[in-house]
Structure 1
Amino acid sequence: MKRGLMLVVMLFVVNNALAKMVNALPKDKPSVLVFSLTKGFHHSSIADGIVALFKLGQENNFKVDTTTNVLSFNTQNLKQYKVIIFLNPTGTSVFNDDQKAAFKFFINEGGGFVGIHAATDFSYEWDWYGKLIGGYFESHPKIQEAKLNIVMPKHTLVKGLPSPWLHNDEWYNFKNLNTDVKVLIQADETSYKGGKMKNNHPVSWYHIYDGGKVFYTALGHTNECYSDPVFLKHLLAGIKWAIK
């Protein structure tokens, strides 16, 4: 009996030690999919953006996959990702109905979405996507510096950003804005030339849409953006928020 009891105790100790070892192992990294197909204007900064996103992933414990292939948008493939990132894709009627359904299912199941700059110059024909991304590109003036004002300074997505924030970029004017989005940052149209939104000019926002977490920033046109620590801080905050 004593021998049997000792064996039980030993097995308990070993199993407990094994459980602690398993719990101490690094957890699987969340994965994000970066999509950057261009059927319209091609941003030369996409290459720098991909490099920056890989670096952010390595430094912040998430895995980055990239694609320009619409066939990646199927339910089986997308289920391995926590977040889809649209890095300056362009074009209309890019996805077929099955691919749209897979993307929508991903969002409905709680997937995260991050849109960068030209993600609003994409899928104009798809009303669901227009509401997801929060609006569509209409026009832009020349690249120039503008003053940005942080609208929600206490929010984690903009925490630690300067306000005002002086930034050089291509400033999109928008149409068909989804009024349900929560605006994080606005451009001061008096600080640059070419703003057409009556100085009510959002450039970064977030919302919960159809089951998923959505973050968009209109910044990210230039190559220099992807080595700008302030912009990358803001972008990383959006990715982390969408992953969680």
Structure 2
Amino acid sequence: MSPRPPRLVLYTRTTAYRHESIPAGVEAVERLAAEEEFAALATEDPAALEHALGSCAVVVFLSTSGEVLTPGARAALRAHMAGGGGFVGIHAAACTEYDWPYYGELLGARFARHPALQPGTVTVTDRAHPATRHLDARWHFTDEWYDFRAAPEGVRVLAGADESSYDGGGMGPAHPLVWCHERMGGPVFYTALGHTAESFADPAFLAHLRGGIRYAAGRG
């Protein structure tokens, strides 16, 4: 009997703002998972998440918002990370679980505000990572250009925002958008990009997500 494929769990529960791009994101991540030979489970049920975290390789929080975890799911996420499991946060994953300090430490930063949706430029500062190695040093993109309450500390910043390329940036020249770290037990990858449904049809963005998933799964 061949071994079962590793599992990817995709979590999209929202209790605050809900992004219209979530269905497109689910479809895209499920397709990437299939191509990477993951058995994917998409859910918005914290009980299902709690159960699935015990046997998954990587969990993806896709534009979650508000308080989305039960005490049992919080404990399961802690155990998943402590056991070396991977975590990927996409876009509004930074708008999640404000009342749980562990989650803030896990993700690395918390969302503060964003200007209007508009084109801008991502500055790719680390092209040695699987999520960024396909990108040029300057990546033109359309998004909400998240500001964070504070810059993440103790992380490997992979890309940031060039605030001179759009209106309304609030973090200055050091404005991280994409980072990773391994300080919580397992690998963590976060990208602030992914507000629009069109993002999830963009080949460069899909390759960005694929690289982040591969990193979180220990395949980078």
TM-score, structure 2 normalization: 0.95
RMSD: 1.3
Give the residue type in structure 2 aligned to 1:189.
Answer: E
In 1: Cα distance, 2:205 partner to 2:24 partner: 13
State the match for 1:180 in structure 2.
Answer: 154
State the match for 1:143 in structure 2.
Answer: 117
The structure 1 segments of at least 4 consecutive aligned residues displaced by more than 3 Å after TM superposition are none
State the match for 2:197 in structure 1.
Answer: 223
> Equivalent residues in 2 for 1:29-44 (5 A)?
29-44=5-20
> Equivalent residues in 2 for 1:57-206 (5 A)?
57-74=33-50, 76-92=51-67, 94-206=68-180
Deviation track 1:147-186 (CA, whole Å, cap 9, x = no partner) reads: 1111112223311112210001111100143311110001
State the match for 1:5 in structure 2.
Answer: none
In 1: Cα distance, 2:90 partner to 2:52 partner: 22
Deviation track 1:128-154 (CA, whole Å, cap 9, x = no partner) reads: 100111111100001111111111122
What percentage of aligned pairs have identical amino acids?
A: 38
> Equivalent residues in 2 for 1:11-50 (5 A)?
27-50=3-26
Give the residue type in structure 2 aligned to 1:96.
Answer: T
8 Å CA contact 2:43, 2:49 repeated in 1 = no
In 2: Cα distance, 1:135 partner to 1:181 partner: 10
The range that moved more, 144-153 or 231-240, is: 144-153
- Structure 1: 5+ residue stretches without partners: 1-21
Count how many residue pairs are aligned between Structure 1 and Structure 2. Answer: 218
Higher helix residue share: 1
Deviation track 1:71-122 (CA, whole Å, cap 9, x = no partner) reads: 1243x53122100000000013x32322211110111000100000000000
In 2: Cα distance, 1:51 partner to 1:170 partner: 21
8 Å CA contact 1:30, 1:243 repeated in 2 = no
Q: Determine which structure has more spread, i.e. the larger CA radius of gyration.
A: 1
- Alpha-carbon shift at residue 206 of structure 1 (Å): 0.2
Give the residue type in structure 1 aligned to 2:58.
Answer: V
In 2: Cα distance, 1:51 partner to 1:99 partner: 24
Deviation track 1:196-223 (CA, whole Å, cap 9, x = no partner) reads: 0012111100000321110000000001
